[in-house]
Amino acid sequence: MYGDVLTNLLMIFHYHFMQNAYVAGTLVAITAGIMGYFMVLRGQSFAGHSLANVGFAGATGSLLFGISPVVGLFIAGLCAALGIHLLNMNDRESHRSDIAVGAVLSASIALGYLFIHLATSEYGANVYNVLFGNILGIDDSDVTIIIWSTIILMLVLVVIGRPLFFASVDPEVAIAHRVPVRALALTYLVLLGLEVAVAVQIVGVLLIFSLLVTPAAIAQQLTTRPFVAIFIAAGLSLLFVWIGLAVGYITPYPVSFFITTFAFGTYVIVRGAVAVRRMVESRRSRSSSRQPLGGAA
C-alpha cells in the first residue's frame, strides 16, 4: 500500500507540467517567505493585499490587450508602488499611509472591473486563473520569467537587506544614521509588486496571503531572531507549496486550495500552542510568586 503511494508520488516528476509547477512553486515560495517577513515586520500587509488586487487589474488588462499576464501584473504592481509612494511622500502617520494604499486599491479594482467588462466571454477561464491561480498551467516561458524575476529579487534583497531591516525596525533612528528610508520603502514596494506578479500564478490574487503573510506570521510566533524567522518563513512557504502540489496531484481539487488550507491550519495550530504555552508559563510564574521566601517551611 505504502509502496503504491510512494510510486504514485514519484510519478509526479515524470510529467513536464509538474516539473514546471515544482520549479516555479519552489522559487515563488522561497521569495514569498522572505518578502513576507519584511512585509509583516513593516506592518504593510494591507499594502501587499492592495498590490495583489492591483495585479488583478494588470492581469485582466494584459488578457484584454493580448500580452503576457506576468508582464501586466508587474507593470500594474510597479505603477501601484510608485503611486502609493508618491501619495504618501509627505505623510509619516500610518493611518495616512493606509489612505494612500486604499486610494490606489479602489482605483485598481475599478480598472479591473472595466477590463472585464470590455473583454469577451472567452477570457472567463483566464480571469478565474488570475483570481485563484493555476500552477499546473505554467509553461516553460512562465518558468523562465519566474527564474529571472527570482534572481533579480534576491540580488536586490542581498544589497538592501540589512538597511531595510534597520529602517523597518526603527525608521527614526535609521533616518538619523542617514539610511535612505524613503528610497528603501519604494524599492521594497517595487520588489513586492514583482513578487506578487509571479506569486499570483501559484495561488491567485485572492489567496496570495497564504504565501506572503501566513508563513511570516507563523515564524514571528516561533522566534524573535530575524534570520531564523526568515529561514522559517521561507521553509514553511516551501513546505506548503510542495505538499499542496503533491496532494493536488492525487486529488481532483485545486492546488491553491490545499496550499492555503495547510498554511492557515498551521497558523491556527501554532497560535494555539503559543497561547497554551504562555498560559502555562503565566500560571507557573503566579504560583512561584506566591511561595514564601523561606520555602514551604
Distances, alpha carbon 210 to alpha carbons 17, 18, 171, 250, 258, in Å: 23, 21, 28, 21, 10
Domain count, the chain: 1
The tens digit of pLDDT for each residue in 58-110 reads: 777 777 777 777 777 788 778 877 877 777 765 554 434 667 677 777 777 77
Cα 155 to Cα 1: distance, rounded to the nearest angstrom = 45
Query: What confidence category does residue 277 fall into, taking pLDDT thresholds of 50, 70 and 90?
Result: confident
Q: For residue 58, which of 115, 140, 8 has the smallest C-alpha distance?
A: 115
Say if 257 falls within a structural domain. no
Say if 46 falls within a structural domain. yes
CATH, residue 178: 1.10.3470.10
Inter-helix orientation angle 255-290/226-250, to 10°: 140
Q: What percent of the chain has pLDDT over 90?
A: 11
Which DSSP symbol is given to 156? H
Q: Under a CB-based contact definition with an 8 Å cutoff, are residues 47 and 175 in contact?
A: no
The mean pLDDT value for 273-289 works out to: 80
Say if 272 falls within a structural domain. no
The tens digit of pLDDT for each residue in 142-170 reads: 788 888 888 998 999 989 888 888 888 88
Say if 83 falls within a structural domain. yes
Q: DSSP for 43-71?
A: T-HHHHHHHHHHHHHHHHHHHHHTS-HHH
Q: Under a CB-based contact definition with an 8 Å cutoff, are residues 50 and 85 in contact?
A: no
Range of the domain at 20: 2-205
Say if 287 falls within a structural domain. no
Say if 73 falls within a structural domain. yes
C-alpha cell at 204: 491567485
What is the pLDDT at residue 226?
Answer: 87
Say if 221 falls within a structural domain. no
The tens digit of pLDDT for each residue in 192-244 reads: 888 887 777 777 766 777 888 899 999 988 888 888 999 999 999 999 999 98
The mean pLDDT value for 116-122 works out to: 65
Say if 235 falls within a structural domain. no
